[in-house]
Amino acid sequence: MKMDSEAVEIDGSVMEGGGQILRVSAALSCIIGSSIKITKIRAGRSTPGLRPQHLTGLQLVSDLCSGSLQGASIGSTDISLTPGKTRAGNYTADTQTAGSVCLLLQVALPCALYADAASQLCLKGGTNAEMAPQIDYTIKVFKPIVEKFGVHFDCDIRMRGFYPKGGGEVMVTVNPVKELTPVTMTERGNITKIYGRAYVAGVLPFKLAKDMSAAAVRTIRKEIKELYINIQPQQEKEKACGNGNGILIIAESSTGCIFAGSALGKKGVYADKVGIEAAEMLLKNIRHNGCVDEFLQDQAKFTITKCEDELSRNITYIIECQGSGAVNPNL
């Protein structure tokens, strides 16, 4: 496959200059069939260039679209991708680190939606990693919202993986779409339910889960007194690689909006501090009175831009875009 002379050139150092530019650019290349060249990848970071999780994501996209990926290796600051036909199949991507499986899904899901049949993705790495969505957030918050657009995928957690070992594994089945359905979300409504889970895995004591849960409930109670708050402490049983603890708290509204706050335990940080961090994040996302939280706003905008009609969010957190109306040519 020959590199297109009309390849779109993308400066990978713009804005925060992180991995999101890579993920969005690679997925768009796959969907619209346009060659890309990305330069200055993570130029402003302490360790510039591709890290293992970025490389794994690019290789996964290249496999999905039968593409040609050039210049991709650990530390590379310039890569080129020429896409081919997006094909359904069974794909495996392994960061071999604690790199996030959720970020692998972020880059692979849009591509698999435009395949010719259902695809199976086996994603390996960290399921609950820093600086990335927790797998619980992906399943409990991201998934039900993108399903409103006609996206359908199933996610089975085979093994949780934590820093520094990784070793987690999820199996994702993605069903293709002909085109996505536009959605309007402009009214938040009232918060009707708050629930979540605080977990420990490996050799960590169950008391940590109970302390995270109790601290989170106390923090939320100071501001929201009228609702029952159900945050269940849980012990992960024989489904974890390494040791880890964390918490995810979800709030649902009367109009179907979903918000979350989450946090991961760290060495030397008391469990109650972890619970408080997640609770304060949730309260912040409720206070702005928008229809999505700050993280879903970032993750779902790729889905929004593939819809046919114009969607807007004229609220505190503003998303306004004209959808491209992408149609799956393989169905």
Q: Binding site: which residues?
A: 106, 295-299
pTM: 0.91
- Tell me the fold of 1-84: Translation Initiation Factor IF3 (3.30.110)
**Exposure class string for 162-195: b at 16+ Cβ within 10 A, else e:** bbebbbbbbebebbbbebbebbebeebeebeebb
- DSSP label at 95? -
Residues 6+ apart with CB under 8 A from 49: 41, 42, 74, 75, 76, 77
Domain map (residue ranges) of the chain: 1-84, 86-186+326-331, 191-287
> Whole-angstrom Cα distance, residue 120 to residue 105?
11
Identical fold, 86-186+326-331 and 191-287: no
Q: Does residue 190 register a pLDDT over 90?
A: yes
Q: Binding site for ATP: which residues?
A: 106, 295-299
Q: Does residue 307 register a pLDDT over 80?
A: no
Structure confidence by residue, pLDDT tens digits, 36-55? 999 999 988 889 999 999 99
- Please report which confidence band the pLDDT of residue 308 belongs to, taking 50, 70 and 90 as the band edges: low
Which CATH number is 86-186+326-331's, of 3.65.10.20, 3.60.21.10, 3.30.413.10, 3.40.50.800?
3.65.10.20
DSSP per residue, 241-299: ES-EEEEEEEEEETTS-EEEEEEE--TT--HHHHHHHHHHHHHHHHHT--SS-HHHHHH
Q: Which helix (H) or strand (E) holds 27?
A: helix 19-32
Q: Does residue 186 register a pLDDT over 60?
A: yes
> Whole-angstrom Cα distance, residue 216 to residue 260?
12
Which CATH number is 191-287's, of 3.30.360.20, 3.40.50.720, 3.20.20.70, 3.40.47.10?
3.30.360.20
- Please report which confidence band the pLDDT of residue 5 belongs to, taking 50, 70 and 90 as the band edges: low
